[in-house]
Structure 1
Amino acid sequence: MLHVTGSGACPVPDAVMRAMFAARKRVFVDLLKWDVPVLNGTYEVDQFDDAHAHYIILADRDGGHLGSARLLPTTRPHILDSFYPELCEDAPPRADDIFEVTRFCLDRSQTAQERRTVRDTLVAALADHALANGIRGYSAIAEMGWLQQILAFGWRCRPLGLPVPVDGKLLGALAIDIDPDTPRRLAAAGIAPRPDLLEGKSLAAA
């Protein structure tokens, strides 16, 4: 089931939100060893998880977390401009219709094939969300392995600068352009969403 937060969107159950923050802790803190805040030893929550953040969440019928992503308005402080502006050759993208994709999270309880399906569904949901809400593009930061996957998804995207070593990892920033042809391009590149996971909540009015 698809849940989307934001002004005018259907309210997301508290249990679904808690499951997302708990999954983020398991992935980004327990698995990837990120040095980020943890609330009550269970939830990964940082300073950008505020009233301005939007979330796209895929959950099972019981509200269990499958995958999620956080969208931050680039007209406000966000991760790229606040912490990693050196990843951009020019100034980081900033506009009302450009959002930063962060905390792209796939639940660890799934098999590799299940994570692939949820990944594809979440990517498709990001494109659909943008088209439904007048978002013309996303920015993102990723380590090289994940960045190369993003570039291969089929949508129009481009690096914002050369990769830079940060704390022993090679990070890069990129811009993703969204237009009416994006869903077709994703499908042509093999991004195959699971239709039943996209049921439930409207993508409009974020």
Structure 2
Amino acid sequence: MTMSTLRGHAPIGGLLLHTMFEARKRVFVDLLGWDVPVIAGRYEIDQFDDDHATYVIVGDDDGRHRASARLLPTTRPHILGSLFPQLCIGDPPRGEDIVEITRFCLDRSLVASQRRAARNCLVAGLANHALELGIRYYVGVAEIGWLEQIVAFGWQCRPLGFPAKCGSHILAAVEIEICAETPALLAANGIASDDAPDALAA
């Protein structure tokens, strides 16, 4: 597996991004039934997929998507601050060292063992990315079931408010602290830094 960190979507340029947006459509629209934009019937792309978005992507040896997450600066419009501020007690966190994680996506074509390996690689890669860039906190919005998995990874999490029903989903806002101890906390739960290969930046 390879780990890539890409800025902007250019649009849908390159095999890795191309297959990532296709995978997002299969997960968030076909599987989960989200009411989000779909381009050309194949790609899930919304208003936050702009030149300010960063994508951390795990690819296979052929350069195709296996797992990914989108990172958005909180100093600009982002999902928690723009769409779900009511999930926070007080104002949603914002800052140069606070980044939002969105669209955590595991490719549906993977078998269970491959999904776990890709997930671990992505989580370790997100922690390494934050440490390298001086990101102190990740924030995000998650459905309750997914939030429980996020907490179980072992990193330091705290709720930003109370869960609330939004349409047919119960959502909550969470903050994840990234510090020097984070890799060891993840490793204690089976997610080691060696799970994340060196990043290829573009």
Same fold, judged at TM 0.5 (above): yes
TM-score, normalization by structure 1? 0.91
Name the counterpart of 1:5. 6
Offset at residue 194 of structure 1 (A): 6.3
Please report how far the alpha carbon of residue 199 of structure 1 lies from its aligned counterpart in structure 2 after TM superposition. Answer: 3.9
Classify the secondary structure of the residue corresponding to 1:5.
strand
Alignment of 1:8-47 (within 5 A): 14-47=14-47
In structure 1, how many angstroms separate the alpha carbons of the residues matched to 2:193 and 2:166?
33
Q: Is the 8 A contact 2:85 2:91 kept in 1?
A: yes
The TM-score with structure 2 as length reference comes to 0.93
Asked whether the 8 Å contact 1:24–1:105 carries over to 2, the reply is yes
Take 2:117 and 2:33, find their aligned partners in 1: how far apart are those partners? 25
Q: CA deviation at 1:64?
A: 1.4
Distance 1:176 1:200, change over 3 A: closer
C-alpha contact (below 8 Å) 1:122/1:193 kept by paired residues: no
Task: Label 1:194 to 1:131 Cα distance change in 2 as closer, same or farther (>3 A).
Answer: closer
Q: Is the 8 A contact 1:117 1:193 kept in 2?
A: no
Partner deviation per Cα, 1:181-201 (whole Å, 9 max, x = no partner): 100010012224664x62452
Does the aligned pair in 1 maintain the 2:87–2:163 contact within 8 Å?
Answer: yes
Are the equivalent residues in 1 in contact too, given 2:139–2:173 (CA < 8 A)? Answer: yes
Determine what percentage of the aligned residue pairs are the same residue.
56
- What is the rounded CA distance, in whole Å, between the counterparts of 1:19 and 1:69 in structure 2? 13
Indicate how the Cα distance of structure 1 residues 42 and 163 shifts in structure 2: closer, same or farther if over 3 A, else same. Answer: same
Aligned length: 198
- Shift in Å, 1:154: 1.1
Contact 1:142 1:173 in 2 (8 A): yes
Map 1:1-206 → 2, pairs under 5 A: 1-6=2-7, 14-192=14-192, 195=195, 198-199=197-198, 201=200
What stretches of structure 1 move > 6 A for 4+ residues in a row?
Answer: none
In structure 1, how many angstroms separate the alpha carbons of the residues matched to 2:70 and 2:119? 14
Aligned to 2:90, the other structure's residue is in SS state coil
Q: Call closer, same or farther: CA 1:154–1:200 in 2, change over 3 Å.
A: closer
Local SS of the residue matching 1:132:
helix
Structure 1: gaps spanning 5 or more residues? none
Change in CA separation of 1:86 and 1:57 when aligned onto 2, cut-off 3 Å: same
Name the SS of the counterpart of 1:157 in structure 2: strand
| 1:102-131 deviation digits (Å, cap 9, x = unpaired) | 000000000122111111111110000000
Q: Post-superposition shift, 1:6?
A: 3.4
Deviations 1:77-121 (Å, cap 9, x if unpaired)? 100011111110121110001100000000000012211111111
What's the secondary structure of 2:105's corresponding residue? strand
Distance 2:94 2:141 in 1: 15
Task: Answer 1 or 2: higher relative contact order, Cα 8 Å, separation at least 6.
Answer: 1
Find the aligned partners of 2:178 and 2:193 in 1 and give their Cα distance. Answer: 17
